[in-house]
A = this chain, B = another copy of it.
């Protein structure tokens, strides 16, 4: 019953690893390296070498046996794969600290994302500039969307108004929505929806921390301390 918008045949986990590779390879390039092999990358990023090779193959990158991949070509290949040549305009609704953090996120520009306007309902925030991005009243969204045709809408409001904001965005022609609220929002089938929940990550970490309490290992450590 669940329907996940396809990411062009490439497994989503592979897509998620791409920014890691890119970040790592750019660092390596700055160190003056020219070639790099999949096993080498794998070791540094704590991944399986075969998996790295397979991921890189998705980007149409090609390497040479015994030598590896040309670093410049590989970086270009991943950038191409992720579409970083293209720059998409984005609107952000909810100019709280999370919204501010996203706007200030240095790397976004390098990842083909350009937040051009922020919106809020808080009169204190309206008119302000965050890192060069102006905050407008939400009522201006329609007008600005008609003019700029943003592709992506980012929701960083509190949970309550999330659905309303999403409806507004869809109404004014946004193609993709990135939802940072913990609320599950409904959008028409054609709209791309990506939920990013801090809580999902928190849950995983708390669950792992829990094992520290359950596990007799901590008790063993206690014992060894008394020896």
Give chain A's interface residues, CB within 8 Å of chain B. 1-3, 5-8, 10, 12, 15-20, 23-24, 42, 44-49, 51, 82-84, 86, 88, 96-98, 100-102, 104-108, 111-113, 151-152, 158-159, 175-176, 178, 182-184, 186, 192, 194, 196-214
Contact = CB atoms under 8 A, between A and B. Distances in A.
B7 A207 contact: yes
B82 A42 contact: no
Main secondary structure of the interface of A (DSSP, over half): helix
A208 to B, nearest CB: 5
A23 B101 contact: no
A208 B187 CA distance: 15
A88 B47 CA distance: 30
Nearest to A176: B209
Contact of A107 (B104, B106, B199): B199
A44 B2 CA distance: 12
Nearest to A84: B206
Given A2-B46, A19-B200, A101-B101, 8 more contacts: A1-B42, A2-B51, A5-B208, A15-B207, A19-B203, A97-B97, A192-B209, A194-B204
Given A19-B200, A184-B46, A199-B107, A88 B7 contact: no
Of residues A23, A44, A101, A184, which shows the largest number of chain B Cβ atoms within 10 Å of its Cβ?
A101
Nearest to A45: B184
A103 B166 CA distance: 26
Contacts of A208: 5, 7, 176, 192, 194
A191 to B, nearest CB: 10
Contacts of A159: 23
18 contacts: A2-B47, A2-B48, A6-B211, A19-B197, A19-B203, A20-B199, A82-B206, A82-B207, A83-B206, A83-B207, A86-B213, A97-B101, A101-B101, A107-B182, A111-B199, A111-B203, A178-B205, A196-B198
